Structure 1
Amino acid sequence: MSGRVSGKIVGKGGVIAASVMVGIGNNVIRVVLVVLFLAGSCVDPYRPPEISAPNKFLVVDGFLNGLGISTVRLSRTQNLTENKKPPVETRAIVQVEDEKGTGHTFVDQGDGTYTLEQGRLQMGQTYRLKIQTAAGRNYASDYVTIKRTPPIDDLSWKAREDGVQFYVSTHDETNNTRYYRWEYEETWEYYSAYYSQFKYLKTQFLYREDNINHCWRTDKSNSVSVATSDKLSQDVIARFPLTFVSASASNRLKVRYSILVKQYALTAEAFDYWQNLKKNTEMLGSLFDPQPFQAAGNIHGITDPDEPVVGYLNSHSMEEKRVFIESSELPSWRIPNGYEACEADTYLLKPPPTEVSAVAMGEAGFIPIDAVLNSIGNVHGYRMASPACVDCRVVGTNVKPSFW
């Protein structure tokens, strides 16, 4: 997780809440840390000290993986008024140890990410995480037992009126899982508005070797998806509605789309944490929605027991499943390509004094698309447009994913 700190007070009587903006991986969500309810009737907007407080709470995002690589990300909370990326916590010592004190040290990747190679941890065993920052402050998690995640039985989808609804199904024949969480990654293929045959380099227009018209983009989920079978006689999750992809809000479904779903088994305590986090981030909109409250994690300050720590150490294996959707499988929707506002203009190499030259536009960052010939077949200009319309790498990559 990574984050920002904020505060909110409504009225001379109302809700007072200090909160942090935190991220799961690269996705930012809000977690409320402190809440106080006061009596009263007047409404007075007020910017409390929490908005500009110098607090930089530690944020811990990660899980212990019994069947793969374990990853922990460390960062610091950030005020909502700050526009830069939340600071990562580097040069920390991150260790995991069992109840007998046998430990392993994570490898510092240099970007706030710490990893432990596969095979160091065992399914069903109990561990805790220990962190010592570069400043010498110590933190530790509660002991957690690594749970085995059952496989995903089915990842299905159904075309609705204006988009695709995805469902996930799973079960545990031993009835020992009961609590589940899902994350997903979306990848889709797309094309920019124009195919560029040329590139501009040091006052020259040269033939382009690479294709910057055809790209792929991957986004990670930014919502909390949890479910439980605790009230059921059988440990079965049938067609849980995971996410809806609109056919009109983006170009995701225009060419080819894929979703990779990751499933995790949770303990009852971890489920409560994620459920509370969901209430704090996705269900606050009216007086009738759940009120914000502290989503207490299982990581604590050792140097200062009163210091808040944001995050929850999960412990489980991971199961995943991927599906693809071809545009030919979908109804005849009018799916946007994302470049509807793009326009290209022609710029001459030797324009009249009142016009801008192709070289000047190249220096300004515009990308040549194709050459414009005069009446005798010589190049006397280029059709050009902004990078946002020509270079698909502005929002994605032209490197084809290995799974595509």
Structure 2
Amino acid sequence: MRIPFLYFIFFSLTLLQLSCTEPYEIETVDFESVLVVESTITDELKPQIVKLSKTSRLEDPEILTVNNATVNVSASDGNAYNFYWDSETGNYISEQAFSAVPNVSYTLKIVTAEGKHYISTAVTLPPEVEIGEVYAERIVDGTENKDGVQVLVNTEDPTGNAKYFRYEYEETYKIVAPYPSPYTAQIINFNPNSGTYDVELTPREPEIICYSTENSTGINQTATTEFNENRIVRFPVKYLSKLDAKLQTRYSILVKQYVQSVEAYTFYKIVKELGSVESLLSQGQPGYVTGNMVSETKPDEKVIGFFEASSMTSKRIYFNYEDIGLEKPPYFIECEVLALDYWDDTTLDNDPNERDAIRQYIEYFDYQVLTVSTTGIYRIVQQECAVCTSFSSNVRPTFWED
């Protein structure tokens, strides 16, 4: 389950303050359970999402999801959208797909299982601005110790109506297992007295190619208010080191551009900058950020979070490491192919019992068999180097282009 971002900010920033002192056992002295709300509805026709959680004690940093709440979004045009709790993701998802539309205001309402009522201020959809150019460049910066690829965005709003932008991305990369294994291996007929056993090899199609997808985390936003022109030039969205294994074969990134209201931009800007305050929830301190969610039953109750409507456009690009002028980066782990002799079952030659090592590697560490010689030499390797589905998926994404 994905950790609610604002909850993560709260917990991480508190630990950041503790890291500057001598180590001691963390203990909460004065704990306040606070509702955390995250939701951005967009002009995409899709099931919209609301994330609800609660803060927890420092010594017990478990994500406390808020279950069995009644969640709905009401629109000024008379439409209403109910949300259900999805146990798999821990999020509330709209029962029907809908999109935010211009000139309509939207209000989020939450009623918890305990009967507490929360409501947002009404929000409207900012103007849509089509995302401009998304491109990748080789970057070498000795001052920042960077050598790799930077994904950049150029965007322009000729109308001047949109000034606040937030960016997210979804990266997908192709994985090719360097040592595909043509077998599944199982230890059978093990005799602990003699140390003998059989290795049952079942032929299979080698799982060579996989695809992994990861979503961005954190807050990445910018504004054009300080520029003479209403344009964004070379805004950095994602950096990858030249040694990043994601660049091993082919890499794709879908960059999403959200146009924000000034209120949403300001809220998330403050949240991002809160690394210097004592606590996100300190009473009377700048660390407590007032969003646009309030309690209807207890007006003084603290609520963390923001409900926003945002127009979104996106663009996907693909590239290989050669396209950027890089050498092929190393694989995700260092793959060492071992050649072990089944008939070497002693340690008299100051060498490990290779027969027992074969069994241990296969049975307990999921090593994969590459080949077996007629003389009993087994070539084996770590599972991640032979079977990419051990950490990825062999389902090719529908959008993928080679």
Normalising by the residue count of structure 2, what TM-score does the alignment of the two structures yield?
A: 0.78
Letter in 2 for 1:185: E
Give distance in 2, aligned partners of 1:28 and 1:221. Answer: 14
**Corresponding position of 2:349:** none
Q: How far has the Cα of 1:327 moved from its partner?
A: 2.3
Shift of the 394–319 alpha-carbon distance from structure 1 to 2, 3 Å rule, reads same
**Corresponding position of 2:90:** 112
Q: Please give the per-residue CA displacement for 1:137-176, whole angstroms capped at 9, x wherever unaligned.
A: 2221111112233111111221123211221122223221
Q: Please give the per-residue CA displacement for 1:212-255, whole angstroms capped at 9, x wherever unaligned.
A: 3432222222232111122345422222222322112x212221
Alpha carbons 1:67, 1:118 under 8 Å: kept? no
Compare the two structures and name the one with the higher helix fraction.
2
**Corresponding position of 1:182:** 167
Alpha carbons 1:153, 1:171 under 8 Å: kept? yes
Is 1:91–2:62 an aligned residue pair? no
Could you say what secondary structure the match of 2:132 adopts? strand
Is 1:23–2:5 an aligned residue pair? yes
Q: Please give the per-residue CA displacement for 1:20-66, whole angstroms capped at 9, x wherever unaligned.
A: xx527xx94447899xxxxxxxx88777754x765443222221223
Letter in 2 for 1:137: K
Q: How far has the Cα of 1:130 moved from its partner?
A: 0.6
Q: How far has the Cα of 1:99 moved from its partner?
A: 4.4
Counterpart of 2:225 (choices 214, 218, 230) is 230
Moved more, 168-177 or 359-368: 359-368
Could you say what secondary structure the match of 1:188 adopts? strand
Alpha carbons 2:42, 2:99 under 8 Å: kept? no
Unaligned runs of 5+ in 1: 4-21, 35-42, 285-290
**Corresponding position of 1:295:** 289
Counterpart of 1:151 (choices 130, 148, 168) is 130
Give distance in 2, aligned partners of 1:92 and 1:182. Answer: 30
Which runs of structure 2 are paired with 1:33-112 in the superposition (5 Å)? 49-50=27-28, 55-69=32-46, 70-82=48-60, 86-99=63-76, 102-110=79-87, 111-112=89-90
Q: How far has the Cα of 1:73 moved from its partner?
A: 1.9
Aligned residues: 362
**Corresponding position of 2:256:** 262
**Corresponding position of 1:397:** 393
Unaligned runs of 5+ in 2: 15-20, 141-146, 189-198, 278-284, 347-352
Q: How far has the Cα of 1:119 moved from its partner?
A: 3.5
Which runs of structure 2 are paired with 1:287-326 in the superposition (5 Å)? 293-326=287-320
Give distance in 2, aligned partners of 1:385 and 1:305. Answer: 61
Moved more, 232-241 or 250-259: 232-241
**Corresponding position of 2:378:** 382
Identity between Structure 1 and Structure 2 (%): 28
Is 1:134–2:134 an aligned residue pair? no
Compare the two structures and name the one with the higher strand fraction.
1
Normalising by the residue count of structure 1, what TM-score does the alignment of the two structures yield?
A: 0.78
Letter in 2 for 1:320: S
Give distance in 1, aligned partners of 2:108 and 2:342. Answer: 64
Q: Please give the per-residue CA displacement for 1:252-302, whole angstroms capped at 9, x wherever unaligned.
A: 222111111111111111110121122125x89xxxxxx973333211223
Give distance in 1, aligned partners of 2:79 and 2:326. Answer: 60
